């Protein structure tokens, strides 16, 4: 994205933008007219088949603008550089989407969960987004409001696991519950400043994260796990984020929206 123009286009920062749900969110926001700064741990300028530079090429096909930035959101001392890059190019930040997250390297029973895996999950899935949000919110609060758009917004991609137990990945569930409360606390604190905060809880979405358990979930979905009867796609989550970004839920700060094909329905 050249350093010049379109200061009038709204600017979004999306973490974990190189693949999966993050990619789906980027494309939905570009269709909504956002310039997007995409942060990811994996940064391979020579790779146009996958990752941030594939996303950049796809965004440009759509006529949009995308700045790939290398970064690890668990490194809090690097957050200023990441957000400075966004402000340097776009002039401001209208939307932050905390999407980057990891699952345990190995699924084990809760009685075997290691402190190392627990710390890794909490660092990436909860601690990093907490402080990135704090940093971005300070900047949003100091920005001149736009007249023609809804106020700034922050979206947290948590999971149904924020509220649903999986005994083979306890540390993931705990990290997403922590992230869910992070969304709630920031929604409360930032409402008077005109910054809306939302939580989006995906269900079972077909990405690299779930590729290793595809057969298991194919069976469970065939057996009725998901009322709407199919895997979710990154675009399902992307469109929900785009609706929030548009301001369609402007009087609903603090809301948690499930994108899970109805897994939120308690059934007998």
Ligand X SMILES: NC(=O)c1ccc[n+]([C@@H]2O[C@H](COP(=O)([O-])OP(=O)(O)OC[C@H]3O[C@@H](n4cnc5c(N)ncnc54)[C@H](O)[C@@H]3O)[C@@H](O)[C@H]2O)c1
Distances (CA, A) of 36 to 2, 26, 208, 225: 12, 7, 22, 35
Supply the minimum distance, in Å, between the C-beta of residue 84 and ligand X.
16
Interface of this chain with ligand X, residues 221 to 260, rule: CB under 6 A: none
- Considering beta carbons, is residue 195 or 263 the nearer one to ligand X? 263
Supply the minimum distance, in Å, between the C-beta of residue 64 and ligand X.
19
Supply the minimum distance, in Å, between the C-beta of residue 124 and ligand X.
5
Supply the minimum distance, in Å, between the C-beta of residue 178 and ligand X.
12
- Considering beta carbons, is residue 34 or 172 the nearer one to ligand X? 172
Interface of this chain with ligand X, residues 117 to 136, rule: CB under 6 A: 124
For residue 207, state whether it binds ligand X (rule: CB under 6 A). yes
Q: Is 176 a catalytic residue?
A: yes
Q: Is 103 a catalytic residue?
A: no
Residue 119 neighbours by CB under 8 Å, 6+ apart: none
Token reading at 109: 């029973």
Q: In 10 A of CB 78, how many CB atoms?
A: 16
Task: List the one residue from 10, 11, 12, 15 that touches ligand X (CB under 6 A).
Answer: 15
Phi-psi region of 150 (alpha: psi -120 to 50; beta: other; left: phi over 0): beta
User: Which of the ranges 53-61, 67-75, 77-85, 238-246 carries the binding residues for ligand X, by CB under 6 A?
Assistant: 67-75
Task: List the one residue from 19, 65, 127, 169 that touches ligand X (CB under 6 A).
Answer: 19
Q: Is 159 a catalytic residue?
A: yes
Axis-axis angle for helices 20-31, 234-246 (nearest 10): 40
For residue 182, state whether it binds ligand X (rule: CB under 6 A). no
Task: List the one residue from 50, 76, 89, 102 that touches ligand X (CB under 6 A).
Answer: 102
Task: List the one residue from 4, 61, 115, 208 that touches ligand X (CB under 6 A).
Answer: 208
From CA 50, how far away is CA 40, in angstroms rounded? Answer: 12
Binding site for ligand X (CB under 6 A): 15-16, 18-22, 39-42, 71-74, 99-102, 124, 157, 159, 202, 204-205, 207-210
User: Which residues are identified as catalytic?
Assistant: 159, 172, 176
């Amino acid at each position: 994205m050249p350093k010049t123009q379109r200061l009038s286009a709204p600017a979004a920062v999306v973490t974990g933008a190189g693949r999966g749900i993050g990619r789906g969110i980027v494309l939905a926001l570009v269709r909504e007219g956002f310039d997007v700064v995409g942060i990811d741990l994996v940064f391979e300028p020579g790779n146009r088949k996958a990752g941030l530079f594939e996303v950049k090429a796809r965004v440009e096909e759509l006529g949009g603008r995308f700045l790939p930035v290398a970064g690890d959101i668990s490194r809090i001392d690097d957050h200023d550089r990441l957000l400075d890059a966004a402000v340097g190019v776009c002039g401001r930040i209208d939307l932050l989407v905390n999407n980057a997250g990891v699952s345990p390297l190995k699924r084990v029973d809760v009685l075997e969960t290691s402190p190392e895996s627990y710390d890794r999950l909490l660092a990436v899935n909860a601690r990093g987004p907490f402080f990135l949000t704090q940093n971005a919110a300070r900047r949003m609060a100091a920005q001149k409001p736009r007249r023609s758009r809804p106020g700034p917004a922050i979206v947290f991609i948590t999971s149904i696991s924020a509220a649903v137990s999986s005994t083979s990945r306890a540390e993931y569930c705990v990290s997403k519950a922590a992230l869910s409360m992070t969304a709630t606390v920031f929604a409360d604190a930032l409402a008077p400043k005109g910054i809306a905060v939302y939580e989006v809880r995906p269900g079972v979405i077909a990405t690299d994260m779930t590729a290793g358990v595809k057969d298991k979930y194919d069976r469970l979905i065939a057996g009725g796990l998901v009322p709407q009867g199919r895997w979710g796609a990154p675009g399902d989550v992307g469109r929900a984020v785009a609706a929030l970004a548009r301001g369609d839920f402007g009087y609903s700060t603090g809301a948690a929206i499930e994108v899970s094909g109805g897994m939120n329905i308690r059934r007998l």
